[in-house]
Amino acid sequence: NFSVRYSIKFVTIRGRLRKEEVVDLREQEQVGEFSGRRTGRPIEERLARLEDIEAIKSLKARYAYYCDHGYDADGMASLFVEDSRWTSNSFGTYEGRVAIHKFQSKISSSILWALHFMICPVVDVSDDGETATGTFYLIEFATVTRPVG
């Protein structure tokens, strides 16, 4: 059985952390998300879910790696299935691995340097483990050329 016995609540004051209080949770039956997914699920299912989440986070990290290393078109294309769609509000939409590869092979002439930080992942794996959705925040530093005209 998993249980959380204490929770420490923190607040920030003028940009610094200050411990506010220690709350004893032994008397409470539910402890937020800690009580949800673990109840009644076999360890194998729970482990598979965690492995799926880590694999998705790793896929996103490899995407950032290929972006940050010259927009390696072969590496980027290897991350996508044949019927993928790549969409950007700045660069348009590309359908299929071949189109994604073609776009990625040209983008390095517009983005001379980039550093991608994919942070705060929220990944939800479906109950059957066949699909997942996720969101990440992107912080990107880049040197981008500007068209003349």
Q: What is the pLDDT of residues 44-61, one digit of tens each?
A: 988 999 999 999 999 999
Instruction: Decide: pTM greater than 0.75.
Output: no
Q: Can you tell me the distance from the alpha carbon of 21 to that of 33, in angstroms, rounded to the nearest whole number? A: 21
For the record, the structure tokens of 145 come out as: 């050329």
Q: Can you tell me the distance from the alpha carbon of 132 to that of 139, in angstroms, rounded to the nearest whole number? A: 23
Neighbours of 26 (CB within 10 A): 8
Instruction: List residues bridging with 87 in a β-sheet.
Output: 93
The alpha carbons of the chain give a radius of gyration, in whole angstroms, of 21
DSSP 25-43: -TT-S--GGGGTTTTT--H
98-146, pLDDT tens digit by residue?
999 999 999 988 899 999 999 999 999 988 888 898 999 999 999 988 6
Instruction: List residues bridging with 10 in a β-sheet.
Output: 19
Quick check: 28 pLDDT over 70?
no
